[in-house]
Amino acid sequence: MLHDVRFPNESDQYRAARDRLLAEEIALLRKTEAVAELRRQLPLGGEVATDYEFAGADGAVTLAELFADGKDALFLYSFMYYRGDEPRFGVKEGPLKTPCPACTSIIDAVDGNADHVAQRINIAVETKAPLELFRDHAQNRGWSHIRLLSSADSSYRADYGAESEDGDQWPIATVFVKRGGRIHHYWSSELFMVGADQGQGTRHVDFMWPMWSIFDTTPEGRGDFLPSLSYS
């Protein structure tokens, strides 16, 4: 017996199965913390050689300028845009114009927590699309807390794994740290780069995407659901 709480009308069969699951949930919790400890113990990654410039709400801002005084970590999410009028890969011509529904779902959740996160670290979202397009999308979604940037005029995305050689955009979360006045790469969501187990997505940014964790508590699970920009 792991605890003595019982829910109305549950059977012994249910409780036995639930306790087996609970034991696995405890093991997963401990494993998650062990992985987080390994992440915290990472040595510094490569020093950032270029002080990338982004377009921001108040004009141009460099990567170094995204570090506020007293905050030596920066969490930077790379938001996807697609060429063409619908979210699909393979369109090689034309400007980036369609926001990614999945990235949108992620930032829908993160925006409401951005003020909390910013009490400890720096946080921002960048995209290769023009800043004006990104800000219009943010206004439509009601985002008002997360810092929005455009990397349209820099090689940031290509250098840090968020853009393919032929210009496709990828969703990558990246952490930079400042040590001794120098900026180093610290961590990126590299699960994206090693591929997915059969029947799964890469799940490389699920840690910041609560929708999936909610689905995982239900009998139906995740199914084949994919986010959309709107629902009728």
Give a yes or no: residue 27 inside a domain: yes
Asked whether residue 25 is domain-assigned, the answer is yes
Each residue's pLDDT tens digit, 127-154 = 999 999 999 999 999 999 999 999 999 9
Claim to verify: residue 100 and residue 177 sit in the same structural domain: yes
Element (H, E) at 31: helix 12-40
Answer yes or no: do 35 and 118 share one domain: no
The verdict on residue 126 lying in a domain is yes
Residues 28 and 58 in one domain: no
Beta bridge partners of 188: 174
Full-model pTM: 0.95
Q: Are residues 61 and 149 in the same domain?
A: yes
- What does the pLDDT read at residue 91? 75
Question: Could you give the dihedral angle defined by the CA atoms of residues 204, 66, 119 and 32, in that order, rounded to the nearest 10 degrees?
Answer: 20
The average confidence (pLDDT) of the chain is 96
Question: Do 82 and 156 belong to one domain?
Answer: yes
Same domain, 35 and 133: no
Q: 76 lies in a domain?
A: yes
Which range (11-20, 87-96, 199-208) has the least confidence? 87-96
**CATH code for the domain in which residue 69 is found:** 3.40.30.10
Residue at 215 is within a domain: no
Structural domain span for residue 76: 53-188
Q: Are residues 74 and 168 in the same domain?
A: yes
Contact between 132 and 149 (Cβ < 8 Å) = no
- Tell me the pLDDT tens digit for each residue of 22-54: 999 999 999 999 999 999 999 999 999 999 999
Could you give the CA distance from residue 55 to residue 211 in angstroms, rounded to a whole number?
Answer: 30
Q: Are residues 64 and 132 in the same domain?
A: yes
Residues forming a β-bridge with 126: 78, 149
pLDDT at 199: 86
Kindly tell me if the per-residue pLDDT of 73 is higher than 80.
yes
Strand partners, 150: 55, 127
Based on the fold, state whether residues 95 and 184 are members of the same structural domain.
yes
Residue 200 maps to a domain: no
Check whether residue 74 and residue 167 sit in a common domain. yes
The total domain count for the chain is: 2
Indicate if 94 and 181 belong to the same structural domain. Answer: yes
Q: Are residues 112 and 169 in the same domain?
A: yes
